Structure 1
Amino acid sequence: MFTGIIESFGTILKITKEGTNVHFDLESILAAELKIDQSLAHDGVCLTVVETKPDRYRVTAIDETIKKTNLSQWEEGKKVNLERCMPANGRFDGHIVQGHVDQVGVVKSISDQDGSWIFEIEYDSSNGNVTVEKGSITINGTSLTCFNSGPGRFSVAIIPYTFEHTNFHQLKVGDKVNLEFDIIGKYIARIVNGYSQQ
């Protein structure tokens, strides 16, 4: 389990395909503290550490993960938001984040507010995901608060600290971002709507 509070960056050094799997080698100041088989969120995607070195490590993504997240657009040199699992005695500074991306959204606009930035995000609402005004959303692993919520769209405000210490400063209009919707909202929606008929 994660909280959406980004710890550090990882920089992608190498991308290697092996069958339908993709290996990502990343450099990070966290590398020396990581252990094999440890879960680590990368832009909100929970991946397992499979190899470690003092200054770098490797994770592997399966085809299903590649298809349902923005990992297919990752390239060497990209900075990725990193968060280790929350320890049992940790403090909840964000919200409950599973590291399971629900779907990909698209950055529709970025407006400079003279001290902060407003990002407008759009997503396919036919998947049944919704946001709640002033509710929680995870974008690329970052815990944020939604506003201007509507079908298939919402906005978030990014303060300078978050802009600098996450990869929001890399995002451009048209970029795809990983979205994990609030787990409490997802459970309520499932209870109310049930399972769709196949």
Structure 2
Amino acid sequence: MFTGIVTDIGEIIAAEGEGKLRRFRIGSAYDPATIAIGASIACSGICLTVVARGESEGRRWFDVETAAETLRLTAAGQWQVGTRLNLERAMRLGDELGGHLVTGHVDALAEIVTREDVTPDEANWGATARFTLRVPAPLHRFIAAKGSVTLDGVSLTVNSVEEDRFTVLLIPHTLKVTTWGARQAGDKVHLEVDMMARYAARLAETLKQG
């Protein structure tokens, strides 16, 4: 489990394989001595298993593998050397739950429709950015105003919803410490809906069926 609070921006420094299995080496600030083989790390919202870790040429890294289902549902098939990823290590009992409960199981790709940068009066704080995204049906029924959503591994609050579109507002800090600062209209991002919304919808469906 994760919280959607990014703790590092990693960079793919090697990529191997094609088709149904790909392996990536991700450079990060994480101390490899603290990463166990088999540990889970969320990479731009995808829960992936560490299969190797180490340090070479002064750079720390860990390796992950992506199989057919992950490649089908996510953008991992397009990752290449230089791709930057939001990273979060799995939460431990007793950790602060700063975002919301996140599984790292991507539901679909959402498309950024527009980006609007808003500069406050105190310009030295930096600009905030309002993103409008389109979510594929039928997942839009899980998106609710003031609810939570995970986008590329970042826990965000939904501002408004209209049919298959919703908006989120990112503060300057989030734009700085995640890959969202470089996101633009037309980009596709990993979407994980709030698990509570998923279970509530399923319960409602079950009650309706009898």
TM-score clears 0.5? yes
> Partners in 2 of 1:125 and 1:191 — Cα distance?
19
Q: Say whether 1:126 aligns with 2:126.
A: no
Q: Say whether 1:9 aligns with 2:14.
A: no
| Contact 2:10 2:27 (8 Å CA) reproduced | yes
Counterpart residue number, 1:29: 29
What's the secondary structure of 2:101's corresponding residue? coil
> Partners in 2 of 1:168 and 1:94 — Cα distance?
16
Q: How is 1:1-198 mapped onto 2 (pairs within 5 angstroms)?
A: 1-17=1-17, 20-32=20-32, 33-54=34-55, 55-114=60-119, 115-127=127-139, 129-194=141-206
TM-score relative to the length of structure 2: 0.88
| Contact 2:20 2:67 (8 Å CA) reproduced | yes
| Contact 1:129 1:186 (8 Å CA) reproduced | no
Cα RMSD after superposing both structures? 1.3
Aligned residues: 194
Q: For residue 126 of structure 1, what is the amino acid of its counterpart?
A: P
> Partners in 2 of 1:155 and 1:51 — Cα distance?
38
Q: For residue 15 of structure 2, what is the amino acid of its counterpart?
A: I
| Contact 1:108 1:121 (8 Å CA) reproduced | yes
Question: What residue ranges of structure 1 are gaps of 5+ in the alignment?
Answer: none
- Greater Cα offset, 17-26 or 74-83: 17-26
> Partners in 2 of 1:126 and 1:88 — Cα distance?
33
| Contact 1:118 1:158 (8 Å CA) reproduced | yes
> Partners in 2 of 1:134 and 1:49 — Cα distance?
34
| Contact 2:140 2:163 (8 Å CA) reproduced | no
TM-score relative to the length of structure 1: 0.94
What's the secondary structure of 1:48's corresponding residue? strand
State the Cα distance separating 1:192 from its structure 2 match: 1.5
Question: What residue ranges of structure 2 are gaps of 5+ in the alignment?
Answer: 120-126
Deviations 1:109-166 (A, max 9, x none): 1001112000111011234642111100000000000012122211100111000100
> Partners in 2 of 1:92 and 1:161 — Cα distance?
18
> Partners in 1 of 2:162 and 2:18 — Cα distance?
40
> Partners in 1 of 2:43 and 2:179 — Cα distance?
11
Q: Which has the larger radius of gyration?
A: 2
What's the secondary structure of 1:94's corresponding residue? coil
Deviations 1:97-119 (A, max 9, x none): 00001111001110011120001
Q: For residue 156 of structure 1, what is the amino acid of its counterpart?
A: V
